[in-house]
Amino acid sequence: MVEGKDTLRVACLGAGYFARFHYEAWRKLQRVRLVGACDRDPEKAKATGQSAFDDLDTMLRMTSPDLLDIITPPPTHLPAITAAISSGVRAIICQKPFCTSLSEAREAADLASKAGVVLVVHENFRFQPWYRAIKQALDENLIGDLLQLTFRLRTGDGQGPEAYLDRQPYFQTMPKLLIHETGVHWVDTFRYLLGEPEAVYADLRKLNPVIAGEDAGYFIFDHANGVRALFDGNRLLDHAAENCRTTLGEALVEGTRGTLTLAGDGSVHLRHFGSLEDSVLLPAREWEGFGGDCVRNLISHVVDGMLDGKPLENEASDYLKVIAIEQAIYESDRLGQKIREFAVA
C-alpha cells in the first residue's frame, strides 16, 4: 500500500500490439496519472500520447513513477523488474508469459519481496466479467455439487500459411504456442474457479505445418472431491460468435443441480437439472476493451490494492504455481502420463 497518496503515478514499458489496451485502460481510471511511455521504437512511444522515452532507466529517473506497467516480451521482464526496484517504485505489473523460465520468475518474485515491492502478473482472464459471474454462481451453490468444468478454445485464426500474420506473427515461430501463450490463461482461471489442481494429464499436437509449436490439444486437471477441469483447445476451429476473440471459446460448468454455460458473446446462462429452459445470469452486451475490459479490471484491482490496501490477486509469488503447472502440462504430453507434482522451488 502507498501511504499518504490518493493518486498513483504510472509509467509503462512497451508500446506494441497489446499495449494499446493497457494505455486505454489507464486513461479511464480516476486515481492514476500516466507520466511516461517507453519503447525501443521512439515513434511507438510517442504514439501513446504520453511523455515518450526509448530508455527505461531514463524514464524511471525523470518520471519517478509509483508503479511500472511492463508490457514487453519475457526476455525483458527480469531486467526491467530489477531496474524498477532499484529506482524506488512501489509496485510493478508484469505481462505474461512471466519471465523466460520458472527459475527467472522465482528470482524476480524474490527480488520484489525482499525490496517490499508489490509485483503482480498481468494475467487478466480471471478478471473477465463472465468468469467473475461464474465464480459468484459457484460460491452461491447455484448448481449444487460441482462435477466438471469444460472450456473449448476455438479461436479460428490458425488455418493456412497466413495464420496469425495479420496480428501476432511471432505466433508462427514460438516453439510452444497453444499452452504457453494461450492455454496458460485457463491454468490460472481454473485455479481461480476451482482451487489448486492435484494432477494433470495432457495430449498436445500440431495441426498447421507452417508453425513451430503446438496449436491443438487437451489438458485435464484433477481437483479435490473428484472435480475435473478440461481444457480442449484448437486454434484452427471457431465457435458461434460475431467476434471469436471476445471469449475465445465456450464453457460448461456442470453440477448435480444445474449447468452454467458461457457463450461466445460473453453471456452466462443457468439451466437447472432436468429443465429445458435457462435463465440469464450475465447478459451479452457491447463489451468495452479486450475480453470484457479485463485489462482495466485487473489494473483497477491493483490500484485499489495500492491505495486502499485491498487484497491482491496474482502476485508473482503465487503465480509461480501457474508456471510450474504449465511445465507439468508439457511434461505430461512428453511422457504420455499423468503428473501429480508441480514443483515451484
Are 27 and 149 in the same domain?
A: no
Are 120 and 142 in the same domain?
A: no
- Residue 5, pLDDT score: 77
DSSP annotation string for 156-223? ----STTTTTTT-GGGGG-SS-IIIIIIHHHHHHHHHHH---SEEEEEEE---TTSSS--EEEEEEE-
pLDDT digits (tens, 9 = 90+) for 287-329: 988 999 999 999 999 999 999 999 999 999 999 999 999 999 9
- Residue 11, pLDDT score: 98
Cell of 135: 465464480
Cell of 13: 514499458
341 lies in a domain? no
Answer whether residue 1 shows pLDDT above 80: no
* β-strand partners of 203: 218
| CATH number for the domain that contains residue 37 | 3.40.50.720
Q: Tell which phi-psi region holds residue 321, choosing left (phi > 0), alpha (psi between -120 and 50) or beta.
A: alpha
Chain mean pLDDT for the chain: 96
* β-strand partners of 121: 94
Are 192 and 233 in the same domain?
A: yes
- As for how many domains the chain has, the answer is 2
pLDDT digits (tens, 9 = 90+) for 185-202: 999 999 999 999 999 999
Are 150 and 280 in the same domain?
A: yes
132 lies in a domain? yes
2 lies in a domain? no
319 lies in a domain? no
Q: How much of the chain, in percent, has pLDDT values that exceed 70? A: 99
- Residue 109, pLDDT score: 98
Are 143 and 75 in the same domain?
A: no
